[in-house]
């Protein structure tokens, strides 16, 4: 995959910025992609190329409520409008937030069916737009005027605006004057102009000819951010005419004390342990382990026979034991590679090879000339169809295996799967704080403490109940006797 990366030389690097004891620079990468109809299988294909992103906005998802995408990434949706006679919607904007995003993300209302708003931390606001071509210039102006702009706001999306020479495009339309005037009135900068001049975000083949334009934008009212750059994956084929683009920069946020995240542990090693059932393999493992652990066994016998006055090196002995076990397993049963975490249950190395083949053919089409373009485009289209067909087949086989396990009486896997589907489709409502989960827990604790402290009670309260020592018109014994008599 070729990535065109253009940095603005006028932007100062982070080393030239004076240090600030109350703020820190957080690296962020905001992805943007028009899906032209988002499918469940497309999500896995997309996220393979977004592992370094903080989040990715997806326009034209065509999703209808209450659809949820099968991914562990946090998701926000502005659902599309139903299309008559079809089982899909039109328009729609979604966001997938990486679990490794360094800032807490909450949604804020934009009150517009064409926009999705998210707030990162305390001050950074992101607004993603999809303005369909059917909107008139007056409607586009109304949508832009309704956007809630704050000091730190980044607007991105497929605006279907062609700004011509301003961004290095060869085409222009009526919306260009509306967008340029609105940006001038609100002091907004179109980052495509300075960070990705002339790089198309829309690329397709029509009549054996390459057609390109710029319709996906990043716009902001912030000063040009530190170390900012825009990447356009021109050689990446995802089944859409729009390219996956990303804006990377460093954002200054206040330093808030928080609980440090646990560090990542060592890489998990895997072996073909089922081969230990074979007698020859098991014999090889035992003999190899005995030869590798002989020296350590002698050392342990000496420690037991004559204990030293100081504590023996327990950690070193543990490392030697683990090394002997690992080496014996490598030489007997053999190791195997682990599946990447972003791979779904149905994803295999064969599917990965088909995806790589499709992307390779797309790059060949991109850099071919003349009549060769038509040849490579046809091969790319065939590879894309084969890849999508293989993905659907793999998902069906995974579902069939799940149903077979259910028929065999393995209800544990079925219950776990049903619970996952239920949780994915259920709307999760939780309290979020711009400073993160620790600050949110502390804020909720302080709020509950203030509620139950009694400070909110009225000063003029009615008198308390009378003391039991005063006269009572009845006693417990007489009441109990009367109740028993009535029941009998």
| CATH at residue 42 | 3.60.10.10
Same domain, 103 and 180: yes
Q: Is residue 14 part of a domain?
A: no
Looking at the DSSP bridge assignments, the partners of residue 335 are: 271
SS3 of 188, please? Answer: coil
What CA–CA distance (Å, rounded) separates 182 from 141?
A: 8
Residue 197 belongs to some domain of the structure: yes
Q: What is the dihedral of CA 82, 88, 94, 100, to 10 degrees?
A: 150
DSSP 374-430: HHHHHHHHHHHHHHHHHHHHHHHHHHHHHHHHHHTT-HHHHHHHHHHHHHHHSPP--
Tokens 């850099």 — which residue?
367
* pLDDT profile of the chain (488 residues), mean per 10: 40 39 80 88 84 94 87 90 85 93 90 92 93 93 93 94 93 93 94 93 83 93 80 87 93 63 59 84 89 87 84 85 88 73 69 87 84 85 88 84 76 73 67 77 87 79 67 61 56
168 shares a domain with 113: yes
In a domain, 3, yes or no: no
- Phi/psi for 362 (5° steps) reads -65, -40
The verdict on 363 and 284 lying in the same domain is: no
Short-list 5, 9, 3, 4, CA closest to 224: 9
Domain match, 363 and 302 both = no
Q: Are 172 and 291 within one domain? A: no
Task: Say what the pLDDT of residue 38 is.
Answer: 86
Compute the Cα dihedral for 139, 141, 144, 145 and give only its sign. Answer: negative
Whether residue 6 lies inside any domain: the answer is: no
- Of 25, 24, 42, nearest to 34 by C-alpha is 42
DSSP strand pairing (55-59 vs 23-34): parallel
| Alpha helices for 73-168 (secondary structure H) | 137-145
pLDDT of residue 226: 61
Is residue 456 a part of any domain in this protein?
A: no
Residue 207 lies in a domain: yes
Report residue 117 as tokens.
Answer: 């708003």
Residue 235 lies in a domain: yes
Q: Are residues 388 and 280 in the same domain?
A: no
Its pTM stands at: 0.62
Sign of CA dihedral 84, 85, 91, 97: positive
Domain boundary, last residue among 424, 457, 478: 424
Query: Are 200 and 83 in a shared domain?
Result: yes
Query: 404-429 burial, b if ≥16 CB within 10 A, otherwise e?
Result: eeeeeeeeeeeeeeeeeeeebeeeee
Assess whether 223 and 316 both reside in one domain: no
Phi/psi at 126 (nearest 5 deg)? -120, 130
> Pick from 252, 285, 315: which residue ends a domain?
252
Q: Mark which of 333, 360, 376 sits at the end of a domain.
A: 333
| Host H or E run for residue 316 | helix 314-332
Convert the pLDDT of each residue in 198-255 to its tens digit. Answer: 999 998 888 777 889 999 999 999 886 567 899 999 888 888 889 999 999 998 886 6
d(CA 111, CA 218): 21
Chain position carrying tokens 């301003």 = 166
What is the number of domains present in the chain? 3
CA-based Rg of the chain, rounded to a whole angstrom? 31
**Residue burial 171-184, b: 16+ Cβ < 10 Å; e: rest:** eebebbebbeebbe
Q: Rounded to whole angstroms, how far apart are CA atoms 252 and 24?
A: 5
Contact 126, 157 (CB under 8 A): no
User: pLDDT for 300-338, tens place per residue?
Assistant: 888 888 888 888 888 888 888 888 898 888 888 887 766
Q: Are residues 56 and 109 in the same domain?
A: yes
How far apart (Å, rounded) are the C-alpha atoms in residues 337 and 430? 38
Residue 126 domain flag:
yes
Structural domain containing residue 323: 273-333
- CA-based nearest residue to 108, from 99, 94, 98, 120: 120
Q: What is the pLDDT of residue 471?
A: 62
């Amino acid at each position: 995959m070729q990535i065109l990366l253009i940095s603005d030389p006028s932007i100062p690097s982070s080393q030239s910025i004076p240090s600030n004891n109350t703020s820190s620079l957080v690296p962020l990468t905001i992805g943007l992609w028009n899906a032209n109809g988002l499918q469940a299988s497309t999500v896995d294909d997309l996220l393979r190329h977004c592992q370094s992103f903080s989040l990715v906005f997806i326009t034209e998802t065509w999703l209808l409520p209450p659809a949820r995408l099968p991914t562990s990434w946090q998701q926000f949706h502005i659902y599309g409008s139903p299309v008559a006679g079809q089982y899909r919607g039109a328009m729609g904007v979604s966001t997938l937030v990486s679990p490794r995003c360094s800032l807490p993300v909450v949604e804020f209302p934009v009150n517009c069916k064409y926009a999705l708003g998210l707030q990162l931390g305390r001050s950074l606001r992101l607004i993603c737009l999809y303005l369909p071509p059917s909107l008139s210039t007056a409607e586009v102006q109304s949508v832009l005027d309704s956007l809630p702009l704050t000091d730190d706001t980044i607007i991105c999306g497929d605006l279907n605006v062609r700004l011509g020479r301003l961004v290095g495009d060869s085409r222009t339309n009526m919306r260009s004057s509306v967008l340029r005037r609105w940006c001038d009135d609100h002091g907004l900068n179109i980052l495509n102009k300075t960070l990705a001049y002339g790089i198309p975000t829309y690329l397709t083949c029509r009549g054996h000819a390459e057609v390109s334009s710029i319709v996906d934008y990043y716009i902001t009212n912030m000063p040009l951010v530190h170390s900012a750059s825009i990447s356009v994956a021109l050689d990446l084929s995802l089944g859409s005419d729009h390219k996956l683009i990303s804006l990377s920069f460093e954002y200054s946020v206040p330093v808030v004390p928080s609980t440090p995240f646990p560090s990542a542990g060592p890489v998990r090693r895997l072996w073909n342990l089922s081969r230990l059932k074979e007698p020859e393999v098991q014999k090889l493992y035992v003999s190899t382990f005995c030869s590798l652990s002989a020296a350590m066994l002698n050392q342990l016998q000496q420690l037991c026979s004559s204990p030293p006055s100081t504590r023996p090196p327990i950690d070193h002995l543990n490392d030697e034991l683990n090394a002997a076990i690992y080496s014996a397993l490598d030489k007997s049963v053999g190791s195997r590679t682990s599946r990447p975490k972003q791979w779904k249950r149905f994803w295999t190395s064969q599917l990965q090879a088909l995806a790589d083949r499709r992307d390779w053919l797309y790059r060949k089409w991109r850099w071919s000339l003349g009549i060769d373009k038509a040849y490579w485009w046809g091969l790319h289209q065939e590879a894309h169809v084969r890849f999508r067909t293989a993905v659907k087949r793999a998902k069906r086989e995974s579902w069939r295996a799940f149903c077979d396990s259910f028929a065999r009486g393995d209800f544990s896997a079925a219950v776990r799967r049903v619970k996952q589907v239920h949780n994915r489709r259920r709307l999760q409502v939780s309290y979020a704080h711009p400073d993160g989960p620790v600050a949110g827990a502390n804020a909720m604790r302080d709020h509950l403490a203030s509620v139950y402290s009694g400070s909110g009670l009225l000063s003029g309260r009615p008198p308390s109940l009378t003391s039991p020592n005063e006269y009572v018109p009845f006693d417990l014994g007489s009441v109990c006797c009367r109740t028993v008599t009535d029941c009998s």
